[in-house]
Amino acid sequence: MFSIKIHTCPLCGSSEAEFHSHSLPNLYSEKIADMTGISEDDIIDTHANVSCLNCGLIYKRHWFSSESLNTLFRNYVPTHPKGWDIVSGRFSAKTFFHELGLFKTAITENDVENRNRYKRALSSIIDSIDGFSKTEEGQDILNCIQSEQPDGILKYKPLLEESIKEPSAFKRFSGFSAPILWDYINEKCGGIQNYAELGCPLWGLMPHAVKQEVSVTFYQRPEVNYWSENCRSGGLHCSEFISKQYGIPRKPWNQRSEEKQHVLGFFQYLDHLENPMAFMKEVFESFEVAAVILDGVDNPLAIQHFTGFTEGALQYIADKFDKTLHSDFEAIKPSGNVLYLYTN
């Protein structure tokens, strides 16, 4: 059995919920279909998103079994694509036109998997050029990608060679490493005394914390609906890579300091968890401040995310733990992400 029934809200425990949305097709729905032999459309239809009528959390009434998730994240999507893209060097005009050639080959050979792969890959580079996707040229390039007309992009080669320089903040190739994010958290919590992260080690603020000479720790927490020991590139696990690059110590989550620490960041992580309230209890037992980044909920909840957090659901957490919730960091919002900062 690859799917289980969820009877109550995983945040507040209420059984009252109403239909919210169906997820859009993506890499994960494609891989789940391959893994189970069930059509992608049926996967998406069965695992619909509902909205809790008590706390506002969006979640899936049908979710994937632990065995299925374990297989997905260890065998079918073993590496975190967005995490490794931060350090991959893929954001370049050279890479774009190389992948455009591979896209053209996939179209010619009717290779559906790679057609979809390079649609996502090419679109992600265009989307990461600051403001470019909103221009007439950017829109035309994206339309050529989606309509599988790669030759229509070639006339823009000089423009793209000039434009693909530095990725826009909070996009795929920059992640959540922008100094302005650090500055905002630093101001709101009265100066960051020490800093830790868990989740993906490649796309956050830990390198910036090292530069600021702030004590940094990366915590490793086992989670079935997340990348694991197979998240490797060039023979290195992602956490080993960041540790070697910046000298950041790694510790198991269950070996947190008995003395309460200051700031913990976890970005695009909370929506993977099956018991978010129990996790947040652990967080606030060990840390004074939590910096949480999540997808906005204007678009349907992705198939690989168990939950989607409205501001009401996040305020529910704040009220339970007597925290103040800040969601006014505007610089991140154009990317489709939102920072929710919990302080005393």
Q: What is the DSSP string of 295-325?
A: E-SSSPPPTT-SEE--HHHHHHHHHHTT-EE
Q: Is 158 exposed, middle or buried (0-12, 13-18, 19+ CB in 10 A)?
A: exposed
Can you tell me the mean pLDDT for 199-206?
95
H-assigned helices in the chain: 27-36, 40-46, 66-71, 81-85, 93-108, 112-127, 136-146, 157-163, 179-188, 206-211, 238-246, 276-286, 311-320
Enumerate residues 6+ apart whose C-beta is below 8 A from 297. Answer: 58, 308, 309, 310
Last residue of a domain, one of 118, 136, 163: 163
In which band, very low, low, confident or very high, does the pLDDT at 1 lie, cut at 50, 70 and 90? low
**Is the per-residue pLDDT at 208 higher than 80?**
yes
> Which two structure tokens, joined as six digits, stand for 242?
């960041």
Question: Count of residues for the chain?
Answer: 344
Q: Given 82, 107, 136, which residue is the final one in a domain?
A: 82
| Under 8 Å between Cβ of 84 and 202 | yes
Domain membership of residue 54 (yes or no) is yes
Is residue 291 included in any domain, yes or no? yes
Q: Which tokens go with 291?
A: 């910096």
Find the mean pLDDT for residues 155-167.
Answer: 95
Residue 174 lies in a domain: no
Whether 137 maps to a domain, the answer reads yes
Res. 192: pLDDT tops 90? yes
Q: What is this structure's pTM?
A: 0.89
Claim to verify: residue 255 and residue 191 sit in the same structural domain: yes
Which residues does 293 contact at the CB level (< 8 Å), separation at least 6?
176, 265, 266, 267, 268, 332, 337, 338, 339, 340
User: Do 246 and 293 fall within a single domain?
Assistant: yes
pLDDT at 342: 98
pLDDT tens string 48-89: 999 999 999 999 999 999 999 999 999 999 999 889 999 988
Residues 77 and 102 in one domain: no
Coil, helix or strand at residue 140: helix
In-domain check, residue 314: yes
Same domain for 193 and 251, yes or no, is yes
Give me the pLDDT at residue 228, please. 87
How many domains does the structure of the chain reveal? 3
**Calpha distance 59→271 (Å, rounded):** 9
Angle of CA points 320, 321, 327, to nearest 5° = 90
Longest dimension (CA), the chain: 60
Residue range of the domain that includes 109: 92-163
As a whole number of angstroms, the distance between CA 101 and CA 201 comes to 32
Position 238, amino acid: C
pLDDT tens string 223-252: 999 998 899 998 899 999 999 999 999 999
Relative to beta strand 307-308, strand 58-60 is antiparallel
Strands 261-267, 287-295: parallel, antiparallel or unpaired by DSSP?
parallel
Do 66 and 192 fall into the same domain?
no
Q: Kindly report the backbone phi and psi dihedral angles of residue 113, in degrees, each rounded to the nearest multiple of 5, phi listed first.
A: -60, -45
What is the number of other CB atoms lying within 10 angstroms of the CB of residue 319? 11
pLDDT tens, residue by residue, 169-183: 999 899 999 999 999
The one-character DSSP state at 273 is -
pLDDT band at 150 (very low <50, low <70, confident <90, very high): very high
| Residue pair 292/268 in contact by the 8 Å Cβ criterion | no
In a domain? residue 170: no
Mean per-residue pLDDT of the chain: 95
Whether 197 and 244 share a structural domain: yes
For the CA atoms of 38, 40, 45, 51, the dihedral, rounded to the nearest 10 degrees, stands at: 120
Strand 287-295 relative to strand 337-343, pairing: antiparallel
| Pair 200, 274 in one domain | yes
Residue 172 in domain: no
Mean pLDDT value across residues 145-153: 97
205 lies in the same domain as 307: yes
Residue 8's alpha-carbon distances to 18, 60, 78, in angstroms, are 12, 10, 30
